[in-house]
Amino acid sequence: MTRERYVSKALSLGLLLALAAATARAQIALPPARVPGLPGTALPGTALPGTGLTAPGALGGGIGLGGAIGTRIERAGAGVRGAADPGQLTGLRRERIAALIRRYPRLIERDPRGDAIARGVLVAYAPSDSALDRARAFGFVIVADRTLDGLGARVVVLRAPERLSTQRALDALRALDPAGTYDFNHLYSESGEPSSVAETAERPAPPGAAVAQHGSFETRVGLIDSGVDAHHPVFADVSVHLHGCMGRSIPAEHGTEVASLLVGRSAHFHGAAPGAALFGADVYCGVPTGGTVESIADAFDWLVHERVPVINVSLVGPPNALLAAVVRSVVARGYLIVAAVGNDGPAAPPLYPAAYPGVIGVTGVDARGHILAEAERGEQVKFAAPGADMSAALPPRAYAEVRGTSFAAPIVAGLLARSIAAPDPLAAARALESLERRAIDLGAPGIDHVYGYGLVGGDLRPEPALARSQ
């Protein structure tokens, strides 16, 4: 591994590590839920190679750098049944960002819109050699420079000169290369939470079961999220391929929950495409908060390289030039990107990548077919799917009752994966049109900003009793 790649990965891990506790501590006081420990993270005071920084000290509030499973914190209204006034939801993510910055001002700051970014770090999409030469001469340091082989594009991560703020550094890059694509290294967050947990024993599935097939092809589906616990019983007969975190497997709650709703299969539980081959990219590496845009770009590239035709992204954040370019390239190649629209509330501005053209934005409904109070609305909403009153797999052998648009998206992704064998623009269009015809119109006639084309997968809601049993 080159020094540049090592520095980039170490910087990303250090930044994500810093996010863990502050995100949790800034929540509105509502019913608590369990959160996992943080395996595989740097110890307090440990040097982060190449950054000139050290890992933060112990994180207060009961969430240390190896806090035991069972630590309890207060969750935001977007993650718990019976959320507060929807008008309050828009500010929740902003409050979490503010708490994050107060605790780790050397690592994280706001961009002009108020979103979280890595301090002093910028990203470039497909810059020319001459543009990078000018950036170096101005004082920028290139900490990572790689080609996304699947997408055929170059992504470069730069550290700003110490004399400049991150905003002024971005302005300088854009002035040095007006035709180039540069932006902040934004941080993206998960879009749903567990609301209750049960330790439910389950027998492993019979060994040697084949990967699910629908029609004449093997079903494959991709996931960009946190780590997946491939040893959970619902994945016993699932082919799981993992990527990220320097080759380490770091299971996490959110990624495991979403993955189970995609492909999980057991005697008592099944996802939308049960038994399909799962390709999971971990952009969190043990920290249950947002991933950097550079890690998300890398995840998309890997899934394109593996030719996985449907990709689920249950993450949300601001618009970003690098993310927009990557999404545009992936969609143009005939891949279907399914993304959660987010839980900032009905009055909130659109979140990304769900709001990018060509992305299939998914909202959530409860067991009565009512839209979730916290779900975003707008033209980015294409489908509704179960997003509450349901269970999902939780490491190591448990189940959680989950709520949020994060958990509606994999139901739509799984349904689409069952009808498309390989990336292809025409096949993707046919699969999407078929799903539109099957949707149950719940709102105004035709497509609307609340339910999109309507409800799909209404019969795929895993029973919440799994999470409530003892």
What does the pLDDT look like over 167-215, one tens digit per residue?
999 999 999 999 999 999 999 988 766 655 554 444 343 333 344 554 4
Residue 3 pLDDT grade (very low, low, confident, very high; cuts 50, 70, 90): very low
Q: Give the phi and the psi of residue 188 in degrees, each rounded to 5.
A: -115, 150
Res 136 pLDDT > 60: yes
Query: What are the start-end ranges of the E strands in 63-138?
Result: 71-74, 108-110, 116-125
Res 46 pLDDT > 90: no
Query: To the nearest 10°, the Cα dihedral for 311, 122, 1, 223?
Result: -10
Local structure of 145: helix, strand or coil: strand
Q: What is the pLDDT, as a whole number, of residue 329?
A: 97
Token readout for 356 is: 């990018």
Q: Whole-angstrom distance between the N-terminal and C-terminal Cα of the chain?
A: 47
Alpha-carbon span 463 to 150, nearest angstrom: 38
Higher pLDDT, residue 15 or 89: 89
Q: What integer is the mean pLDDT of 25-30?
A: 31
Res 99 pLDDT > 70: yes
- When mean pLDDT is compared over 1-5, 27-31, 383-387, the highest value belongs to 383-387
Higher pLDDT, residue 129 or 94: 129
List the Cα angle 36/37/38 in 5-degree steps. Answer: 120
Res 10 pLDDT > 60: no
This prediction's pTM: 0.82
Percentage with pLDDT > 70 across the chain: 74
**Nearest to 269, CA basis, from 123, 100, 390, 153:** 390
Contact 279, 221 (CB under 8 A): yes
Higher pLDDT, residue 202 or 101: 101
Q: What is the pLDDT, as a whole number, of residue 212?
A: 54
CB neighbour list of residue 182: distance below 8 Å, 6 or more residues apart: 122, 123, 124, 125, 127, 170, 173, 174, 321
Res 25 pLDDT > 90: no
Contact 232, 370 (CB under 8 A): no
DSSP 181-245: EEEEEEEEEE--EEEEEE----PPPPTTPPPPEETTEE-EEEEEES---TTSGGGTTS-EEEE-G
Q: What integer is the mean pLDDT of 133-152?
A: 96
Q: What is the pLDDT, as a whole number, of residue 297?
A: 97
Query: To the nearest 10°, the Cα dihedral for 398, 400, 405, 406?
Result: -20
Q: What is the pLDDT, as a whole number, of residue 290?
A: 54
State the helix-helix crossing angle for 253-263 and 405-417, rounded to 10 degrees. 40
Domains and CATH numbers, the chain: 3-106 (no CATH), 116-188 (3.30.70.80), 190-468 (3.40.50.200)
Q: What is the pLDDT, as a whole number, of residue 86?
A: 55
Least confident range of 3-12, 19-28, 159-168: 19-28
Q: What is the pLDDT, as a whole number, of residue 69?
A: 24
Res 386 pLDDT > 50: yes
User: Tokens 């049993």 sit at which residue?
Assistant: 469
